[in-house]
Amino acid sequence: MKTSRRTFLITSVGVASTFALGSKAAFADAPKVPESDPTAQALGYKEDASKVDKAKFAKYAAGQDCGNCQFYQGKPTDAFAPCPMFSSKLVASKGWCSAYVKKA
């Protein structure tokens, strides 16, 4: 009896450690924001900032992208990272939307 409880605890610790190590890229499995998403359409989100509808979103300026926006939750080198504007779904580092605010 004691041995199986001990085995269970050791196994549990091992599993917990695995989760802790794997949590580094926790957002990697989050869904990407599709451009067809209603919020994405309202904010003019594009995965490729060069494809932004400049007539509709005149505030867009070349050089602006998610990777240098203050809402981007990843490193600028991460291809995708969560954005709070989209319930922490993933947006592209090279993307853009009209909620853009230059990172200070």
Q: Which residues bind ligand SF4 (CB under 6 A)?
A: 45, 66, 69, 71-72, 83, 85, 91, 95-97, 99-100
CB nearer to ligand SF4: give 9 or 57.
Answer: 57
CB nearer to ligand SF4: give 6 or 103.
Answer: 103
Least gap, CB of 71 to ligand SF4 (angstroms): 4
CB nearer to ligand SF4: give 17 or 41.
Answer: 41
User: Which distant-in-sequence residues (6+ apart) come within 8 Å of 40 by Cβ?
Assistant: 33, 34, 86, 97
Least gap, CB of 5 to ligand SF4 (angstroms): 48
Least gap, CB of 83 to ligand SF4 (angstroms): 3
